[in-house]
Structure 1
Amino acid sequence: MVHTASLVENEPLLSPALLGQLERMELISRKIFRGRMKGERRSKRKGQSVEFADFRNYVAGDDLRFIDWNLYARLDKLLLKLFLEEEDLHFYSLIDVSDSMQFGNPSKLHYAKQLAASLGYIGLCRSDRVKIEALDGATSSGAPVFRGKRSMARMCDYVQSLQSTAANVTLTDAVKSFCLRNRGKGILVLISDLMDKTGYEQALKFLVAQNMDVYVIHVLSQEEIDPEILGDLKLVDCEDGDIAEISVSQRLIDKYRATLATFIEQARDFCSKRGIVYTMTSTERSVDRLVSRYLRHQGLVK
């Protein structure tokens, strides 16, 4: 693989036009999680915010301040007022920074950064707790937590600074390291090309065990989806240096496409059986279209 760069990668991760679209969206969880701080979303749990939800019968020990005395005067019943509680959501985005993610124009890594920043900004607009982390196997919990729209610039600078690592860390080991260091519940989005010789299955099993709302965004470059190469070639694996000399014919290209289609279908089936929402995308698909159309259809945003 040859690492390529693009002028697009020198531009800001989030353009003003994209920011305008993202501000109108909201991250949605399929599960109910208890937030650590008050946020700007309505929980299905009953709490003590200012928005009225329902009544229930008074039980000994309940706070007398929430009894509706007007109803008691009319019905001679002690009824407690319930309110919808506002809570924050934990949003995690894990970016695969292995060498294979540097392939393409723009690179898959740049696409992953833009996507993670876009989803993170949606969370910031709703005062969610946003944490974006590179899957480099680091044992520290150095990735910062961002909260509030004022954190947007710091978040983008941090995401832009993420680079591939020279360490030969497997996807499984990197995800396991993350799971051991992070116990918060919420939405987790893994952005990866899933290209790991040891496989991706065990890594996804670790994420499922965290009891989070897990999404996998499978990113491939258009060159990988529809290669236009023929003739005698020497292929060098960008991650471990393995070399293979091949003669590329149309027949071999057809076999490659069939193998890739099987790989994608197996990943989709593996995720579906474990309650993970899977989405495959090409780097040619704009991030705003992926978020506003495809991820909205998948239920991650609204």
Structure 2
Amino acid sequence: MLDPSFLRKLDRLSLITRRAMRGELQGERRSPRRGASVEFADFRPYASGDDIRQIDWNLYARAERFYLKLFVAEEELNLHLLIDTSASMDWGEPNKLRYAQQLAAALGYIALSNLDRVSVHAIGTGSAQSLSGVRGKRGAIPLFNFMQNLQAGGTTQLAQRCRQYVMNVRNPGPLLLCSDLLDPNWREALTALTTRPFEVTVMHILAPQELNPELEGEFKLNDAEGGPSIEVSADSSLLERYRANLAAWQREVESYCNGRNMTYVAIDTALPVEELVISQLRSRRVVR
């Protein structure tokens, strides 16, 4: 899935979260709970039954009241990777689904390297494809195997699949959606992700042939997901209108995400995955 030299670079990265989130096991992330670590969090008054070893005697000498020291608990993060596997993703050069697989594998590996937990769910119309709760670097092999075996097919049901996923998740956390968003209900899909306390990053993946098509003459365009065919006469005027409409749509999606505290990343599959992760996702504060 990923070049060994790229993996070594990923070992030095971590995912950025805007707020502390609860996990299940000890890890390397801030938790909203208080626990035992080296990082001080706050004081609270002593109550009967508290551990007297946590009393701050220096503060007692000044205030003549007992206070406990509270420290930041460190817990694992739960990363959720949603990958659109509808038929429209199996298109373009470089292929959009292949790109999404490598991108999700890279981000999942970063989480595993930091002792976080990773779950992957394929959003398609076929039977549910999920990988739940792998943790640690030993989880990289099942993660990569799962990614490599994903196949595209069927029509997009983005909103329905997103609603189903968020309803069944036990531990929300950072969520990365990899999709071309070629679904008329993309707004409903993104809104569904906001019904739980996820930190959502939308990876809007499009191929160069979609961003800047080079067509001239008469064509019949077939819908990869079974919709009606369209006959077009491609000339410079038509292509100019197409690019303007596409740019307007991308701005609309970005504005929709910004209004709901989501991170939006427009992606051209012509950009190598390594460059996207190491450079652009760093600048967008997705990884550091």
| C-alpha distance in structure 1 between counterparts of 2:136 and 2:158, whole Å | 30
| C-alpha distance in structure 1 between counterparts of 2:57 and 2:250, whole Å | 61
Tell me how far 1:31 sits from its aligned partner. 2.4
Q: How do 1:64-213 residues align onto structure 2 when only pairs under 5 Å count?
A: 64-69=52-57, 72=60, 77-137=65-125, 142-166=130-154, 168-196=155-183, 198-213=184-199
* Identity rate, percent: 38
Structure 2: which amino acid aligns with 1:171? L
Sort the Cα spacing of 1:201 and 1:55 in 2 relative to 1 into closer, same or farther, 3 A: closer
Query: 2:131, 2:143 within 8 Å by CA — same for their partners in 1?
Result: no
| C-alpha distance in structure 1 between counterparts of 2:162 and 2:126, whole Å | 10
| C-alpha distance in structure 1 between counterparts of 2:83 and 2:39, whole Å | 40
Is there any run of 5+ residues in structure 2 with no aligned partner, and where? none
Indicate yes or no: 2:13 matched with 1:25.
yes
- In the comparison of the two structures, how many residue pairs are matched? 287
Tell me how far 1:263 sits from its aligned partner. 0.8
| C-alpha distance in structure 1 between counterparts of 2:129 and 2:149, whole Å | 16
Sort the Cα spacing of 1:80 and 1:282 in 2 relative to 1 into closer, same or farther, 3 A: same
Give the equivalent residue in structure 1 for 2:257: 271
Tell me how far 1:46 sits from its aligned partner. 5.7
* Aligned partner of residue 209 in structure 1, secondary structure: coil
Query: 2:22, 2:171 within 8 Å by CA — same for their partners in 1?
Result: no
Query: 1:133, 1:143 within 8 Å by CA — same for their partners in 2?
Result: yes
| C-alpha distance in structure 1 between counterparts of 2:47 and 2:129, whole Å | 45
Sort the Cα spacing of 1:129 and 1:138 in 2 relative to 1 into closer, same or farther, 3 A: farther
| C-alpha distance in structure 2 between counterparts of 1:131 and 1:55, whole Å | 33
Sort the Cα spacing of 1:51 and 1:123 in 2 relative to 1 into closer, same or farther, 3 A: same
| C-alpha distance in structure 2 between counterparts of 1:92 and 1:211, whole Å | 12
Query: 1:232, 1:245 within 8 Å by CA — same for their partners in 2?
Result: yes
Map Cα deviations across residues 83-127 of structure 1 (whole Å, 9 max, x no partner).
221111110010111111111112100000001000000100111
| C-alpha distance in structure 1 between counterparts of 2:195 and 2:41, whole Å | 35
Indicate yes or no: 2:9 matched with 1:48.
no
TM-score, normalised by the number of residues in structure 2: 0.92
Q: CA-atom RMSD, angstroms?
A: 2.0
The structure 2 residue matched to 1:296, chosen from 271, 275, 282, is 282
The structure 2 residue matched to 1:60, chosen from 47, 55, 63, is 47
* Aligned partner of residue 36 in structure 1, secondary structure: coil
Map Cα deviations across residues 213-267 of structure 1 (whole Å, 9 max, x no partner).
0110101101111111101111110101421111111111111111111111111
Is there any run of 5+ residues in structure 1 with no aligned partner, and where? 1-12
Bigger drift between 169-178 and 281-290 goes to 169-178
